[in-house]
Structure 1
């Protein structure tokens, strides 16, 4: 039962993280920022949001000492760089080479990233 609760929590907070990511991306891209810059800024903010929610609500990490939290954050951030690369490369491919709408490309890319981030978080960070 705990396993399903964790997956459900991850899905809920994954959706919220995606909303944060897509909302920030949308506002920035509509404000005239290049989609690559918008993707990068949205990624940084959503990673911060995801770390806090994953640590506290999804994986219920009991590490509260500053040194332990910093270690978790560093691992989280470093491993999320992988998802950033996938996010950015996917956006470039979908927009520049397939001529897909920017927002549709962002949604598709986020679905891929959510699955990868769960696996990385579960197996490597919040064990």
Structure 2
């Protein structure tokens, strides 16, 4: 397996300690996470533009029963020009090596980062 053939995309919480295997760390939340200093976050980038709209985020409220509908609506939002540019930036990073999508969500498995990972994974050629 070579990383250029199969870029690795991970989803982690911004509150977790950085790991050597994280590669490029990108925060994909619109709002800066509470209680995290910029130094502790160890970010390479903060891509606010790829995050869901405030309206969608508030509607969702990380309710597991709303996740499928949230994911569907968010994928629609990702088609708008501003978010498409940010998504392309994530694709570029992932093609160069490991990309870790960071979120402050309590459950990263039902976060926008999880939707982004799935979107990026499905867009890969190979």
TM-score normalized by the length of structure 1? 0.31
More relative contact order, 1 or 2 (CA 8 Å, 6+ apart):
2
Which structure has greater strand proportion?
Answer: 2
TM-score normalized by the length of structure 2? 0.31
